Structures are given as structure tokens and as C-alpha cells.
Amino acid sequence: MVLFLVQIDVPSHEAEAFSRYQAEHVAKALVAMGRGAMGMRARVIQDGETARFFWFFELPSLSALESFLTSRDREELYAELSERFPEARVRLSFGELASGVRRGLRYGEDPGAAYVVDISLPRETANGWASWYDSERVARALADAGFVRARRFELHDGEDRSRHLVVLDAVDLDAARAFEQNGAAILADLGDAEGPTDARVERSLWQWVREAPVEEESS
């Protein structure tokens, strides 16, 4: 699966209006992406003058993503978003599932939240780091009773760095918060790659809303 990640920051006073608006927007985007596309949207749990949202799309192939990005539907959706929320700041990221899906103790249940770690490293530092982090850090974090699964995506943003998005899906926000308080230090340890000049790490809590996948039309 190919990941298309859309980050949207809006002023906090527009957060509720944006929350109502985005459901229809994401549904339209999934229709435009076609069969096999899946989507979830999340709001980041944070305080401050800015509210942050993510649209998390997974498409079956790179060609499907390229087709959507060059389509008129995508242009119209972006224009609509810009018109409705002119102060919104949008960041696009692209990536792929790098290490498969790791099952947690609550695997099979629908996730309601996630503990997310966004890690950026110099490429020369990242050689061999990812597999070590999966086995030594992500696997240990999954021992927490509240997790459904873990996924690591390698993002391609055009920067001369290696960027990884580690998403640990939890059954609900309470479970994700409990891990943040009691177990998050596991994921903060980057091993030999850690250092103020080497790694950039952002940690956040997401609250999920799942969108219905596009159904194949019956013949």
C-alpha cells in the first residue's frame, strides 16, 4: 500500500467548523481515488492557537496515487478547501509501508486512537537503524495491553533525510494516553542515532475517525 498523508493546520477557532467540513471532503477524495483506497482522518490532541488534523489515505499502488494527484477531482477538492479555509496550512507527504503490520494484544479490534512518532534522521545515520528500531523498540511498545497494531511508514518528502512515521494504533484515546504516561520512553530511545544534531523526533496523540472504503460496483 502507498501512503498519502495530508496534514492540515487551522486556527483553533475554526477547528469545529473544519471537523464538520472534512468528513464530506475526505469521502469525496476516496471516491476520486477509486476502488481499493482506504482513508482515516485524525485530530491531534494538543493545546494552543492551532488545531492539527491528518488525512491518512492508503492506495493500492503508486500509479493509483499519481492518477489521483493529476486529476481534475483533486484540483477541485484543493480549491474548495482553500476557499472554505483560507488560513489553513497544508503539508503533503508520501510514503510506503516499510515493515509490515505488527500485531498488538488487541489485534482485530477497531483502533480509536494512535500514539505517533515522526522521526527524521540523516540518511547515512539511518542505515540499519530502521530494522533495529522495529525489533528493539516497536516490538517492546506493542507489549502494552492497549495496542491493536503498529506500522512504520518510510516517507519521501524530497529532503536529504530519512523520515519514518511510526503509528501505534490503540483501542481508544485512554489507552494511548496511558502509554504516553507510562511507556513512551521506549520509543524515545533511538539508539546510536540519537543526538541533538542527528535526529528530529515529534510525538503526538491522534484520535481516529475511519471512513468507509469505496465499494466495487456490482455488474
Phi/psi at 14 (5° precision): -100, 0
CATH code (residue 140): 3.30.70.100
17/74 same-domain check? yes
Let me know if residue 213 belongs to a domain. Answer: no
Helix (H, G, I), strand (E, B) or coil at 209: strand
Please give the helix or strand (H or E) that residue 129 lies within, else none.
helix 129-133
Task: Report the pLDDT value the prediction gives residue 197, as an integer from 0 to 100.
Answer: 55
112/196 same-domain check? yes
Task: Report the pLDDT value the prediction gives residue 196, as an integer from 0 to 100.
Answer: 42
Let me know if residue 214 belongs to a domain. Answer: no
Task: Report the pLDDT value the prediction gives residue 218, as an integer from 0 to 100.
Answer: 46
Let me know if residue 47 belongs to a domain. Answer: yes
Query: Which of 100, 199, 107, 185 is CA-nearest to residue 141?
Result: 185
Identify the domain boundary among 94, 118, 137: 94
118/188 same-domain check? yes
Split into its structural domains, the chain has a count of 2
pLDDT block averages, 10 residues each, the chain of length 219: 96 95 94 94 93 96 96 96 97 92 94 95 81 91 94 85 94 95 86 64 90 50
**135: containing domain:** 97-207
Query: Which of 174, 186, 127 is CA-nearest to residue 146?
Result: 174
Let me know if residue 151 belongs to a domain. Answer: yes
Q: What whole-number distance in Å separates Cα of residue 143 and Cα of residue 148?
A: 10
Task: Report the pLDDT value the prediction gives residue 212, as an integer from 0 to 100.
Answer: 53
Identify the domain boundary among 66, 94, 122: 94
80/20 same-domain check? yes
Q: What whole-number distance in Å separates Cα of residue 54 and Cα of residue 39?
A: 10
The predicted model scores a pTM of: 0.88
Let me know if residue 217 belongs to a domain. Answer: no
Q: 2 has which bridge partners?
A: 59, 96
Alpha-carbon Rg for the chain, nearest whole angstrom, is 18
Residue corresponding to grid cell 481515488? 33
Q: Which residues of 37-46 are buried (b: 16+ CB within 10 A; e: fewer)?
A: bbbbbbbbee
44/131 same-domain check? no
